């Protein structure tokens, strides 16, 4: 079995037991990304060398006996509507390609703190406001099972990516079904956490989000296994 086929818990266990290195885990997911993403366009912003460098640092931390988190070395994807340091927070909008984040959003920072390694950023409809995943900035994401069907939205790129093995966990967010519907459409599992369970804001934002969004939008995971 290839490392990209393992669920996050098993991958983390093998890395902690030194049965698999972080570099091997990340490289396997990156190779999977390269092999299947051109067909479905789920990941629209890469960062292979950045991910491999983080994996090398994660292996060094293990070798040095440092304390590690529960997702140490596990490859994950991040949706393009949250800030990830050094990457554009496009939210599927071409005009936002210049909005390059200077720091991580809390959800990305917490994933890194847990040891997870971002390997790519996933597609969303413009402004993350549709039940399909297509936009002028990045194009259309296809359902990996049937190109004639929608992958759902707005976390359609996240669901499609994790369904084909691009990362063990995909980050998504959900206001009116944006994790749950893509999970259903792509045949994976999605969790909408309780409101307030996962902190979230974009440091690159120029103003407060409307109260209705703050009171209904949550950040959560998609994966191939509960």
* Residue 102 three-state SS: coil
DSSP β-ladder status, 75-79 and 189-190: unpaired
Candidates 28, 128, 154, 155; catalytic one:
154
Q: How far is CA 98 from the centre of its chain?
A: 20
**Residue 178 annotated as catalytic:** yes
How far is it, in rounded angstroms, from Cα 167 to Cα 132?
21
Among 79, 105, 128, 155, the one annotated catalytic = 79
Measured on CA atoms in the order 139, 144, 149, 153, is the torsion positive or negative?
Answer: negative
* DSSP summary character for residue 9: H
Among 100, 120, 118, 102, residue whose Cα is nearest residue 110 = 118
Catalytic (active site) residue 154? yes
Catalytic residues: 79, 154, 178
């Amino acid at each position: 079995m290839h490392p990209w086929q393992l669920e996050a818990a098993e991958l983390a266990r093998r890395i902690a037991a030194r049965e698999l290195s972080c570099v091997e885990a990340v490289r396997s997911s990156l190779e999977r990304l390269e092999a299947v993403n051109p067909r479905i366009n789920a990941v629209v912003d890469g960062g292979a060398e950045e991910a491999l460098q983080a994996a090398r640092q994660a292996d060094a931390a293990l070798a040095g006996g440092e304390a590690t988190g529960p997702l140490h070395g596990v490859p994950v994807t991040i949706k393009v509507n949250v800030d990830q340091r050094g990457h554009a927070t496009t939210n599927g909008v071409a005009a936002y390609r210049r909005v390059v984040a200077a720091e991580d959003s809390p959800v990305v920072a917490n994933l890194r703190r847990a040891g997870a390694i971002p390997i790519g950023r996933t597609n969303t409809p413009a402004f993350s406001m549709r039940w399909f995943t297509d936009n002028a900035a990045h194009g259309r994401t296809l359902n990996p099972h049937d190109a004639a069907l929608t992958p759902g939205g707005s976390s359609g790129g996240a669901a499609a990516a994790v369904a084909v093995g691009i990362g063990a966990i995909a980050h998504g967010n959900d206001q009116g079904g944006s994790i749950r519907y893509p999970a259903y459409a792509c045949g994976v599992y999605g969790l909408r956490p309780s409101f307030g369970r996962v902190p979230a804001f974009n440091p690159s934002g120029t103003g407060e989000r409307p109260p209705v969004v703050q009171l209904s939008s949550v950040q959560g995971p998609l994966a191939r296994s509960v």
